[in-house]
């Protein structure tokens, strides 16, 4: 569903790709910190792949296919630590292959089957390892790195339980179309299949939750496999790729061949081509005939923000965003309808319900957006542009479809509009006025609870004090939806959340990855007490690495979203959703400040609304990491809400846990 970087139609005719093919993603620094060892430089040309991340809807896997263009004007000099004909261990070949892909940071936790890789990492003067305290923390951090930068994240784990601890992160990256390369150690080849100590068939375990995976059986294949992995992860619809490396391969001495061709003829032939002019003309015609058009944009547009803004400027069409598409179009813009879907704004869902033309760009018609499929945009002609052909017509049949990078499609559409715009006489002022009246009638709002702090207010204050410029990560639950509703995202890659999988425990490690990828940025993990405690051990990583991650913990002592459903649909019967100490429910339990204290991180607790603004300002002003424990009432509900499987007519806009249903 994403439309992001599509392959140049000429890519199928390119000469054989070689592993001199460089990182699919432009690296922020133009040169690597090369070794000064007097070795003979290796010159190589490479394909420059501009990557784009994909997210679409809550589960955006349709992402950006890198546009493949061969560049001969640019050449990199990579100076190896080894002479060209000098044998070195497979682990050293693997690490150098990562260096050649432009990798600067990895998130790796060592174990018996991956020790050789870690030993090789200590010999690299290019790659920094940020040591997580759990493999799941490592893979979520790699995701935060990728989501916030567009560069593939890299995580490394040992065999057996280390590898299986990556599973949630790989599934999350698959569903949200995040470019990720995961490397796992494996037992020696002769022991595979014998139920050896710490052996799991991780390739089989992860086959359905990775874009592709490899079991390395020949040390000479390492350079090619690493190049292929990075290309696959970031081209077409991005996703995770796993490389499983047996320990004897890591220890084997070999002389690497860095110019092996990539063996991906089938994949290359299936990469989307540039959109046809006739299809784009047809879309412009539908736009000109429409009276109530609306844009429905998702994670597949993350790389196409400028083109989308230009399209809106040329047409004046209002924009509704999926959870994964937040920030693609500025929420502060008057044409923004903010988020649509289950917890989207009334006016965004109204616009889709009443529209006569739905422009679905880089989305996958996820169930959390559509609700009852037959009722979703039932009056509208549908135009669907996505990088992944599997998404087109999967859930909702479009009237016009384009399988292409959204960026290329929007560039083509904008060119037509710039040429013909004056003759089209596009005027949607009546439609916009209708939606503006809905904005006034049904604004995002919240209740007050005496002196208690409304969680939405805490996010509004954070937005105000950071000027809307922070990178925000979240866990999963009520706090996640409030962060999506009440923080004003104006740029892509500001918003990091587990959309399709909905993995609790995502927020803290994702913030680590974002802080590593964006030194100097303000990074805030807006978390709930349930999600936070799932990866609380990563406080140690934040302290040791001295990462300036701020944690705004909305603590209601409950699994808030499940409690909300209990209130609405289960007569408020509490079924194991209270996270405090039942024998002493007047006290906050556990004491989150003690976790911070144990890791040497400054922390504070705030319980009254009048004290909140000063407490958040202090959090932002304190150098390094900081935890602010904000105590909020558990009775608050995320509204609006369209019940699962419901339609716009079923929207709920009133009530909370103080009401009986």
The answer to whether residue 204 is catalytic is no
SS3 294: strand
User: In the beta sheet, which residues pair with residue 129?
Assistant: 106
Greatest C-alpha distance within the chain: 77
Rounded-to-integer distance, Cα 147 and Cα 458, Å? 25
Rounded-to-integer distance, Cα 432 and Cα 192, Å? 63
Cβ(138)–Cβ(158) under 8 Å?
A: no
The answer to whether residue 135 is catalytic is yes
In degrees, rounded to 5, the angle at the alpha carbon of residue 520 between the alpha carbons of residues 65 and 463 is 85
- Please report, for residues 29, 179, 496, the alpha-carbon distance to residue 523 in angstroms, rounded to integers and kept in the order given: 21, 21, 10
Cβ(294)–Cβ(429) under 8 Å?
A: no
- Looking at 89, 104, 247, 407, which residue is catalytic? 247
Distance, first Cα to last Cα, the chain: 38
Q: Which long-range contacts (CB under 8 A, 24 or more apart) does 646-649 make?
A: 646/371, 646/372, 647/353, 647/371, 647/372, 647/375, 647/376, 648/349, 648/350, 648/352, 648/353, 648/371, 648/375, 649/375
- Looking at 39, 198, 282, 537, which residue is catalytic? 198
Strand (E) positions, 298-416? 319-321, 336-339, 357-361, 381-386, 400-403
The answer to whether residue 561 is catalytic is yes
Question: Would you give the DSSP letter of residue 555?
Answer: E
Check the CA dihedral 522-527-529-531 and report its sign. Answer: negative
- Looking at 135, 143, 228, 538, which residue is catalytic? 135
Which helix or strand (DSSP H or E) is residue 93 part of? Answer: helix 90-100
Residue with tokens 């390094």: 624
The answer to whether residue 545 is catalytic is no
- Looking at 197, 418, 441, 587, which residue is catalytic? 197
Beta-carbon-side half-sphere exposure of residue 452 (alpha carbons within 13 Å) = 17
Residue spans of alpha helices (H) in 467-552 = 478-486, 507-517, 529-534, 539-545
b/e string for 250-262 if b means 16 or more Cβ within 10 A? Answer: bebebebebebeb
User: In the beta sheet, which residues pair with residue 184?
Assistant: 157, 244
Give me the phi and psi of 78, to 5 degrees please: -115, 125
Rounded-to-integer distance, Cα 613 and Cα 555, Å? 17
* Pairing label, strands 626-631, 128-129: unpaired
Two tokens at 654? 């009133």
- Looking at 268, 561, 619, 641, which residue is catalytic? 561
SS3 297: strand
Give me the phi and psi of 105, to 5 degrees please: -135, 135
SS3 118: helix
Angle between helices 277-289 and 406-424 (to 10 degrees): 50
Residues 6+ apart with CB under 8 A from 577: 558, 559, 562, 563, 566
In degrees, rounded to 5, the angle at the alpha carbon of residue 94 between the alpha carbons of residues 92 and 96 is 70
The answer to whether residue 597 is catalytic is no
Question: Would you give the DSSP letter of residue 39?
Answer: P
Cβ(329)–Cβ(312) under 8 Å?
A: yes
Residues identified as active-site? 135, 197-198, 247, 561
């Amino acid at each position: 569903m994403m439309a992001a970087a599509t392959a140049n139609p000429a890519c199928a005719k390119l000469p054989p790709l070689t592993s001199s093919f460089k990182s699919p993603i432009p690296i922020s620094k133009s040169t690597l910190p090369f070794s000064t060892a007097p070795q003979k430089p290796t010159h190589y040309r490479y394909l420059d792949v501009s990557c784009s991340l994909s997210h679409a809807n809550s589960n955006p896997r349709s992402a950006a296919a890198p546009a493949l263009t061969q560049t001969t004007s640019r050449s990199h000099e990579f100076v190896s630590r080894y002479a060209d004909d000098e044998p070195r261990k497979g682990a050293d070949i693997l690490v150098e292959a990562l260096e050649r892909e432009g990798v600067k940071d990895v998130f790796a936790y060592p174990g018996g089957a991956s020790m050789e890789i870690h030993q090789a990492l200590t010999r690299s003067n290019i790659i920094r390892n940020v040591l997580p305290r759990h493999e799941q923390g490592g893979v979520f951090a790699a995701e935060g790195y990728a989501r916030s930068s567009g560069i593939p994240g890299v995580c490394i784990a040992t065999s057996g339980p280390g590898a299986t601890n990556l599973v949630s992160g790989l599934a999350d990256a698959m569903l949200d179309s995040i470019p990720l390369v995961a490397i796992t150690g494996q037992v020696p080849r002769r022991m595979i299949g014998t139920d050896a100590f710490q052996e799991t068939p991780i390739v089989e375990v992860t086959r359905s939750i990775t874009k592709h995976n490899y079991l390395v059986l020949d040390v000479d294949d390492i350079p090619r496999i690493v190049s292929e992995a990075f290309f696959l992860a970031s081209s077409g619809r991005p996703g995770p790729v796993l490389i499983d490396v047996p320990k004897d391969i890591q220890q084997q001495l070999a002389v690497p061949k860095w110019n092996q061709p990539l063996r991906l003829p089938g994949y290359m032939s299936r990469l989307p081509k540039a959109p046809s002019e006739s299809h784009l003309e047809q879309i412009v015609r539908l736009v000109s005939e429409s009276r109530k058009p609306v844009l429905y944009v998702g994670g597949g547009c993350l790389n196409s923000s400028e083109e989308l803004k230009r399209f809106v400027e040329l047409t004046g069409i209002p924009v509704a965003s999926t959870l994964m598409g937040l920030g693609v179009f500025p929420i502060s813009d008057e044409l923004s309808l903010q988020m649509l879907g289950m917890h989207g704004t009334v006016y965004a869902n109204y616009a889709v319900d009443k529209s006569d033309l739905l422009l679905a760009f880089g989305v996958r018609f996820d169930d959390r957006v559509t609700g009852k499929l037959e009722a979703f945009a039932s009056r509208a002609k549908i135009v669907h542009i996505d990088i992944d052909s599997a998404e087109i017509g999967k859930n909702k049949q479009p009237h016009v479809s384009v399988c292409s990078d959204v960026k290329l499609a929007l560039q083509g559409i904008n060119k037509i509009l710039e040429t013909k715009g004056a003759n089209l006489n596009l005027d949607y002022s009546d439609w916009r006025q209708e939606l503006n009246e809905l904005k006034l009638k049904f604004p995002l709002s919240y209740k007050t609870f005496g002196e208690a702090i409304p969680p939405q207010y805490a996010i509004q204050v954070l937005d105000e004090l950071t000027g809307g410029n922070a990178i925000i990560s979240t866990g999963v639950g009520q706090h996640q939806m409030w962060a999506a509703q009440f923080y004003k995202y104006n740029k892509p890659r500001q918003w990091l959340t587990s959309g399709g999988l909905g993995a609790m425990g995502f927020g803290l490690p994702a913030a680590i990855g974002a802080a590593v990828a964006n030194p100097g940025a303000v990074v805030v993990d807006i978390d709930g007490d349930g999600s936070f405690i799932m990866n609380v051990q990563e406080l140690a990583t934040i302290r040791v690495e001295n990462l300036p991650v701020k944690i705004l913990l909305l603590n209601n002592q409950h699994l808030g979203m499940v409690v909300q459903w209990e209130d609405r649909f289960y007569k408020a019967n509490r079924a194991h959703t209270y996270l405090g100490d039942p024998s002493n429910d007047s006290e906050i339990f556990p004491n989150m400040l003690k976790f911070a204290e144990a890791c040497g991180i400054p922390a504070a607790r705030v319980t009254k609304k009048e004290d909140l603004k000063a407490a958040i300002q202090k959090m932002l002003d304190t150098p390094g990491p900081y935890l602010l424990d904000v105590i909020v009432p558990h009775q608050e509900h995320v509204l609006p809400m369209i019940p699962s499987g419901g339609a716009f007519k079923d929207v709920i806009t009133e009530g909370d846990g103080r009401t009986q249903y």
